[in-house]
Structure 1
């Protein structure tokens, strides 16, 4: 089985899109991540895992000392998403450039799994003739692997 046989259409967000809109997309469609923009070659610019967005909601001092999470009041926790106001997708991406999980449409599911595993990504982007043709999520890959 080849990657192009199991791709799904997936939303692509622009790097300068409002972060709140992107998070709503993640939440509404229960996505494991988002494909961010494309460069001039139509290849994805980045993949933003939902876990990275969740991390953004956690105050830096709680990331430094996880025990502080217990002392935050419920009303403070209820406003965690307020940190997204005025932010863009660019602000949510790690400052250090990450390798984009890209596979070729002709790659096998083992090749797809290797890229997903090595890059710790919940999804991989699939390109054919240099252009984005879809995405394979970890859950889709596992479902296909179980069919074998």
Structure 2
């Protein structure tokens, strides 16, 4: 049986696990959010207002969904649909020019920096998300992922 590592859990603090995160304004074009997702190789990022308060979350899924014509979203069998390349370019370009606020999810999982790591884990599970936005005085200061949290709790990663 493998010996369990001493996690040093008594010293674990959510603040120590926070990673800086890119964010985007709700007024920015969706194209800007896409550039950030590609640059940082992340599936989503927080949307923050002018004072740094989280107001939503935008993901690669939100962006793709916004580019699909409404009628395609309602159909299960698309085998008979013949979209031309020009039509797809039009849909994608139109979606990329929309403001982030029209594309984002208003649901954003947040925890205060003073939240326990257990409560942060519970929030991620309850909300079905892979990370939470960490706030201090209502303003975003970074993010914590479930992978980083789990690794730190069991001592696989230095906090």
Q: Normalised by the shorter chain, which TM-score bucket? A: 0.7 to 0.9
Q: Which runs of 5+ in 1 are unaligned?
A: none
CA displacement, residues 28-75 of structure 1 (integer Å, 9 cap, x when unaligned): 3221211112365x4311122332222222222221113216744572
Instruction: State whether structure 2 residue 136 is matched by structure 1 residue 125.
Output: no
RMSD in angstroms over aligned alpha carbons?
A: 2.7
Alignment of 1:1-148 (within 5 A): 1-38=12-49, 40=51, 42-68=52-78, 71-73=81-83, 75=85, 79=89, 80-94=91-105, 97-98=106-107, 100-145=108-153, 147=155
Deviation of the 1:108 alpha carbon: 2.9
- Scaled by the length of structure 1, what TM-score is found? 0.77
For structure 2, which runs of at least 5 residues remain unmatched after alignment? 1-11
Which protein has the larger Cα radius of gyration, Structure 1 or Structure 2? 2
| 2:98 partner SS | coil
Q: CA deviation at 1:81?
A: 2.2
Going from structure 1 to structure 2, the CA distance change for 1:64 and 1:87 (only over 3 Å counts) comes to same
For residues 72 and 101 of structure 2, what CA distance do their matches in structure 1 show? Answer: 22
